[in-house]
Amino acid sequence: MGRHDRMTKARGWSLALAAMLAGTAILAGCSDKDNSNTSASPKEQPATTGTSSGEADNGGADISTYRKLKVFTVGGFPQTDTDAVIGEINKYLKEKINAEIDFQGLPWSSWAEKMTLAYQSGEQVDLTFAPNWADFANNVAKGAFLPLDDLLAKYGQGITDSLDPRFLEGGTVDGKIYAIPTNKEIGESHTIMFRKDLIDKYGFDVNSINTLEDLEPWLETIKEKEPGLAPIWLSGSGSDTLSYFDKTKVSVEENFRYELVAGAPAPIVLDTKTDKMIVNTMESDAAIYRIKLYNEWFKKGYINKDAATTKTSAEDALKAGKTWMKFGSDKPGSDKEDSSATGIELVKLTGNDPEISTASVSNSMMAIGRTSIDPERTMMLLNLLHTDPYLVNLIDFGVEGRQYVKVEGQPNFIKLPDGIATRTDTGWAPGIEWMFGNQTLTYLWEGESADKWEQFKLYNERAHKVKSFGFNFNTDAVKTEVSVISNIVKEYRPLLETGSLDADKVLAEYNDKLKANGIEKIRAEAQRQYEEWKAKQS
C-alpha cells in the first residue's frame, strides 16, 4: 500500500490530508555517493561500516550482551515467508552486532492505531518507522522518541558519511535529531499509473494528460466498456487519493501556490503568494474546487462506491482485478518498479517537477523509541541499514534463491526464480524498500535501467526547494488543539476526499468543527513560528 507522502506544495486540502495519513507510494531513492551494488555474499562482502576487517563499527561499545530489538514497520503484511526472511536477518545480525530483531510488520489498516497504543503504553519500541506524515512532531513532543545526536556521532558514522545532510533537517525538531531519513530521492513528485494493456486497447495517450480533468474521457470509457473495473479506486483509510496527481485546472492556474507545513495538522498550509498560514478548506479555492470535483466524479460512478470505508488499497484492488489504476511516485523507473511489484505492466502520467520540502526529506524515517532496551545497539542496527548491502537487500527483497535469483553475467540485477509469476508469490513482497536505510545499495530488477541511480542524481538536481524548506512546526504550545483537530480530520477526510457525500454540506460541517476546536489558535501559532524562522534565515 502506498502512502502518502509525501510532501511538498499543498496542492489543495486533500494533498495535505494525504500527507498526514498516507504513504505513497514512494519507493527507491538516490544519493550523491557512488555505489557499485556488488553481488557478493555476506562472507565475501562485509558491511561497509567504516572498518577494514568487516566487523561493524560499534564505536568501541561492549556488545557482549545479546539483545532482542523490537522493530516496527508498516507495509503489505502479513507475508507468508516472513519467518524465513527474518531468520536469515537474525543470523546475520547476531554475527555483526550480537543482536536479533523481533520484527513487527504491521498492515496499513491497523498500523497507526497500533503505534499510538505502543507509545502510550510504554511497550518496548527499539526501532520504528516514523515519517513526518504520521504525527512525527506530536510524537516527539510527547516524548515517544529519543534524541539521536549523540548516538549518531558515536555509532552512526556510516549514516553521516553517506546521507545528504539536507535529509537530516527532516528529522530535526528544535535543533535536535529525532529520526534518520531513508537515503532515497530528495525531491518529490507524484503520478497515477494505469494498466498498459487497457491504455493500448483504447488508444489512450499518457502524454495528453495535462490536468486531472483531462482524465474524464478515459474514466467514462472504462466505466462504459470495462464494467468490472472502477475507473478510479480511492481508499478512505488514507492511502490513496487523487492528490497524488495534483494537476487540476485551478491548481495549475495558481501555480501550485499552497505548501504543506511540516509538523502542522493537515488543514494548515502556507499560501506562498501572501506568505501567510491559512486553513486550506476555508480559504483555498483550489482545495474547495478539488473536493467538489471528487463529489461530481463519485456521482458519475467514476469512483468505487465503497471508497469512504474500504481499507483495500488501489494497488491491492489493481492486483485483484477491481481497478485499472494505482497511485505512485513519479521518479525515474517508478513505473517499472511498480510493474515488477504487481506483476502487471503499468504506464504512468507525467507528474510535476520534483520539489524539495521539509516533508519530502522526512516522508520516510526511522526513530529510536524512548522505551528502547538498548539505544546504542539500535543505532548500530540503523547504521548497518545505511551501509551494508547484504542486509539492505535481504530486508528489501528476501533470501537469494528463495525470493529472487541473480541475473547471469549481471551481478547487480535480480529476477524472480523460475516458475514464480510475481513477487507476491515468493512470500516476501511487503513493499518496504523505500523505508529502510540506503536505497542506493539495492539490486536492480531485470528490465530496470542500468543507470537508474544516475537518473536519480539528475532527478535530484532538477528538484527545487519550496519556500518553507527547513521549517518544522513545533506543536508543543497547541498540542491539545492539534490532537482534537487530528481526530476531526480523520473523521471527515474519507467523506470529502472520496466524494462520497454532498461536498457543500460536509465541507461546511467540517469547517465549523475546525473553527470550534482551535484551528485558529493553531494557525496563529504556526504563523508566529514561521515568522521567527524566516527572520533567522536572512
Provide the β-strand partners of residue 271. Answer: 258, 276
Beta strands 99-107 and 172-173 are: unpaired
Q: Number of C-alpha atoms within 13 angstroms, CB side, residue 323?
A: 28
Over its C-alpha atoms, the chain yields an Rg (Å, rounded) of 22
Q: Which grid cell is 1? A: 500500500
Cα dihedral sign, 205-424-100-390: negative
Asked if 205 contacts 311 with a C-beta cutoff of 8 angstroms, the reply is no
**Domain for residue 223, yes or no?**
yes
Residue whose cell numbers read 501559532: 525
DSSP class per residue in 125-190: -SEEE--TTTTHHHHHHTT-B---HHHHHHH-HHHHHHS-HHHHGGGEETTEE--EE-BS-SSB-E
Residuewise pLDDT in 10s, the chain (538 residues) = 333 333 333 333 333 333 333 333 333 333 333 333 333 344 334 333 333 333 456 777 789 999 999 999 999 999 999 999 999 999 999 999 999 999 999 999 899 999 999 999 999 999 999 998 888 888 998 999 999 999 999 999 999 999 988 889 889 888 899 999 999 888 888 899 999 999 999 999 999 999 999 999 999 999 999 999 999 999 876 667 787 777 899 998 998 899 888 888 889 999 999 999 999 999 999 999 999 999 999 999 999 999 999 989 899 999 999 999 999 888 888 898 889 888 899 999 988 888 888 878 898 999 999 999 999 999 999 999 999 999 999 999 999 999 999 999 998 999 999 999 989 999 999 999 999 999 989 999 998 889 988 888 788 778 888 899 888 888 889 999 999 999 999 899 899 989 999 999 999 999 999 999 999 999 999 999 999 999 988 6
**Domain for residue 434, yes or no?**
yes
pLDDT of 498 reads 92
H-state helical runs in 406-502: 452-462, 479-497
Q: Provide the 3-class DSSP secondary structure of residue 347.
A: strand
Provide the β-strand partners of residue 180. Answer: 366
pLDDT of 538 reads 67
Q: Which of 465, 483, 499 is the last residue of a domain?
A: 465
**Domain for residue 412, yes or no?**
yes
DSSP class per residue in 250-318: HHHHTTS-EEE-TTS-TTEEEETTTTEEEEHHHH-HHHHHHHHHHHHHHHTT-B-TTTTT----HHHHH
pLDDT of 6 reads 33
Same domain, 137 and 199: no
**Domain for residue 133, yes or no?**
yes
Helix or strand holding residue 75 (H, E): strand 67-75
pLDDT of 425 reads 94
Same domain, 111 and 230: no
Same domain, 289 and 215: yes
Q: Which of 335, 357, 379 is the last residue of a domain?
A: 357
Asked if 498 contacts 306 with a C-beta cutoff of 8 angstroms, the reply is no
Same domain, 314 and 234: yes
Provide the β-strand partners of residue 240. Answer: 235
Q: Which of 338, 357, 376 is the last residue of a domain?
A: 357
Task: Quickly count: other Cβ atoms within 10 Å of residue 202's Cβ.
Answer: 13
**DSSP-assigned letter for residue 372:** -
Q: Provide the 3-class DSSP secondary structure of residue 77.
A: coil
pLDDT of 461 reads 77
Same domain, 300 and 434: no
- The CATH number of the domain where 233 resides is what? 3.40.190
**Domain for residue 112, yes or no?**
yes
**DSSP-assigned letter for residue 214:** G
Same domain, 327 and 213: yes
Same domain, 349 and 233: yes
Same domain, 384 and 333: no
- The CATH number of the domain where 156 resides is what? 3.40.190.10
Residue type, 433: E
Task: Quickly count: other Cβ atoms within 10 Å of residue 536's Cβ.
Answer: 7
Q: Which grid cell is 69? A: 530489538
Same domain, 427 and 378: yes
Same domain, 372 and 348: no
- Distance between CA 476 and CA 238 in Å, rounded? 25
**Domain for residue 101, yes or no?**
yes
Same domain, 208 and 339: yes
**Domain for residue 44, yes or no?**
no
Residue 301 structural domain? 13-24+188-262+284-357
pLDDT of 237 reads 65
Q: How many domains does the chain have?
A: 2
**Domain for residue 123, yes or no?**
yes
Q: Which grid cell is 203? A: 488508444
Same domain, 321 and 373: no
